[in-house]
Structure 1
Amino acid sequence: MSWITSRHAIEATLQREAPGAVLYLTDLRGRNGDLQRLARSRGVGVKTVSGEWLRKRAGSSARGAALELGESPSRSSVVSLKDWLRRTPPGSTGPILALDHVTDPHNVGAILRTAYLMGVPLVIVPARRSVLDSDGVRRSSAGASDEVPVAVVPNLASALRECKRAGWWVYAADAGGTPLPEVPFDSAAVLLLGAEGKGVSPGAAALSDLTVSIPDRAPGGTTVDSFNVSVAAGILTYEYFRTVQPE
C-alpha cells in the first residue's frame, strides 16, 4: 500500500478513479470536511483517526489527512511516445522536456508542475528508477503529475533518437554550452535536463544538437555551481516560449 499526504494531491486523486482507497482524517473541519464530501461522492471510504495514528502509518508528512491507495490508480496522463510523435507535427505544440536520471521526487514533481503551468505538451522519463507514483512527486506537483502527458521509456537514448527521426531537435542543458540568450531555438525542441551533480549522461549528450548553458551572476569561488534542475527546467521553458511561437 502507498500513501498520499498532500491535500492537493489527495483531491486530484479522488477526482479520478481510486479503487480500494481509504481516506483518513483527524477531524472534519474546513478543508478536511471538503475532502470527506468529495471522497464519499466518489465512493471512497472515510475514517476519522488520531494525528498520532496517522503519522505512524502515513509518515511525518501527514498533517490531518492522508489517502491510502488500494490498487494503483490508472494514470491517464501516461502516453506512448511513438503514438504521440505520430500524431503531433514537430513544432506545433511547444517543447518536450526529457529528464535524464532525474530521480529526486521533489524535483520531478516541481518540473511537472512547471510543465503544466507553462503548457509543455510532453515529458519523457526513463522507466528505470521512476518515481512518478511516489507521494513526493504528487506533493511537489500539486496534482500536476496526473495532468501532464508523460512518456515512460525503457531507454532515454533510444527515445531521443526517435524524437530526432520525427523531426525534433535536442537541446541539452549543461555547463559550457551556448549561453541561453544566444540560443536560436527551433520550434520543434526537446529540452534535455540531467540530474544535479551528474548532469546529462554522455550517451544522451552525444545525441544533442546543441548544448545550452544558463548564465549566472554568482561571485567567483562559490561552491554553488549549478541551478536546481527544476529551476533550470522553468528557465529553459520560459525562454523557449519567450522567443519561439509554436507553428
Structure 2
Amino acid sequence: MGKEKVHINIVVIGHVDSGKSTTTGHLIYKLGGIDKRVIERFEKEAAEMNKRSFKYAWVLDKLKAERERGITIDIALWKFETTKYYCTVIDAPGHRDFIKNMITGTSQADCAVLIIDSTTGGFEAGISKDGQTREHALLAFTLGVKQMICCCNKMDATTPKYSKARYDEIVKEVSSYLKKVGYNPDKIPFVPISGFEGDNMIERSTNLDWYKGPTLLEALDLIQEPKRPTDKPLRLPLQDVYKIGGIGTVPVGRVETGVLKPGMVVTFDLLA
C-alpha cells in the first residue's frame, strides 16, 4: 500500500475578472474533482445563455449556489489530487470571502495561487494602486500565507497571443511588488496559462514553448510540505456550519493541531 498523500489547503486570489473561477473550475474538473455528468449539465445551461466563455466559472458558481441553498452535493467538490498532494480549495474566489475567511484565521492556506489577468488593461487594473492583485497579495502575506504561485492568465488573449514580452513585463512588475510585500519572488513560480483553453495547467502547451518552467499542476507539487502539529491536543476552529438535507448540521473548519478521525467523539467549547 502506497504512502498516503499529504493534505494541503490552497486559496485562489486575484483581481476581479482575472479568471479565478474559470481557472479553478477547469483545474478541479481536469483532475477529477467534478463529475463529468454534472459539468455537462451546467455547460449546456451556460451555452443556452450564450456564456460559452464562462463555462468553467459557470460550473463552479452554480455548484456553490447549490451548496449555499442546502442541497445535498458531493462534499469532495472542492478537492482534487496532484501527484504529491491531496488539495482542498478552501476559499471560493471573491474579495469579501477572502477577507472574511482569512482574517478570522479559521482557514489559513498553505499556499496562495494568485491569478493575474495578462490582457491589455486587465493587468494594469489589477496592479494599480487600488487593484485587488496588490490587495490580495498583501493580505495573503500579512495573514501568514508564505508560499505563493503566480499564474499569468489569459495568455491566449494577449497581443500578440501567447506573448513572451507581455509575460516578462508582468513578471518584472509583479515580482517588484511582491518583494516589497515580503515575499521572495525568486521562490515564486510564474506560470503562463490560459484558464479557459487549458494551456500549461495540466500539460505543457506548445503555444508557450518559450516557457521552460513548471505547469500549474507541477507548481502545486513544488509546494513545501506543511508541518502539522499532530502530537498536540485537537484544535479545530470553526469556519462555518452547514445544514445539509439528509445529514444534518455539519460544522466546517481546519484541524490546526492534533488528529481527527472518523468515529471520534469531540466536544465544542463556546468561547465568550
Normalising to structure 2: TM-score of the pair? Answer: 0.32
Normalising to structure 1: TM-score of the pair? Answer: 0.34
Higher Rg: 1
